[in-house]
Amino acid sequence: MKVFNLSEMKAFPYEKREKNVFYQAEGFKTRIIELPPEGKMPSCLMSEHVIFVVLEGEVTVEVNSEKVSLREKHCFITEPATLSMQTKKGVRILGIQIEK
């Protein structure tokens, strides 16, 4: 068993996103995603199921050209897809990837 304090975890910018992974097991990966105000995550093809839980802030997520807005305490789940995101005010997200 492991316990993680998500509010105390440091988040690295997108270019160093692999450093944001705080737990990984076969077929499963968790990370903190943090975007500053006006921040963006470019389009990427995800071959895994993805779960995002917004811890702080707001974000617009685009999934295969369909957009959805998420706020604090929203949980978003998608099957493998092409994803991108952007925020106006900044956002902190728990991201979970589960192999298909």
How do the domains of the chain map onto residue ranges?
A: 6-99
- 7-53: pLDDT as tens digits: 999 999 888 989 999 999 999 999 999 999 999 999 999 999 999 99
CATH of 6-99, one of 2.40.110.10, 3.40.50.1370, 2.60.120.10, 3.30.1490.100: 2.60.120.10
Number of C-alpha atoms within 13 angstroms, CB side, residue 78?
Answer: 19
Task: Quote the pTM value.
Answer: 0.91
Q: Smallest Cα–Cα separation from 60: which of 85, 34, 90, 89?
A: 85
Q: Smallest Cα–Cα separation from 81: which of 54, 46, 50?
A: 46
Q: Smallest Cα–Cα separation from 33: which of 88, 95, 99, 86?
A: 95
Dist. CA 81–CA 28, nearest whole Å: 17
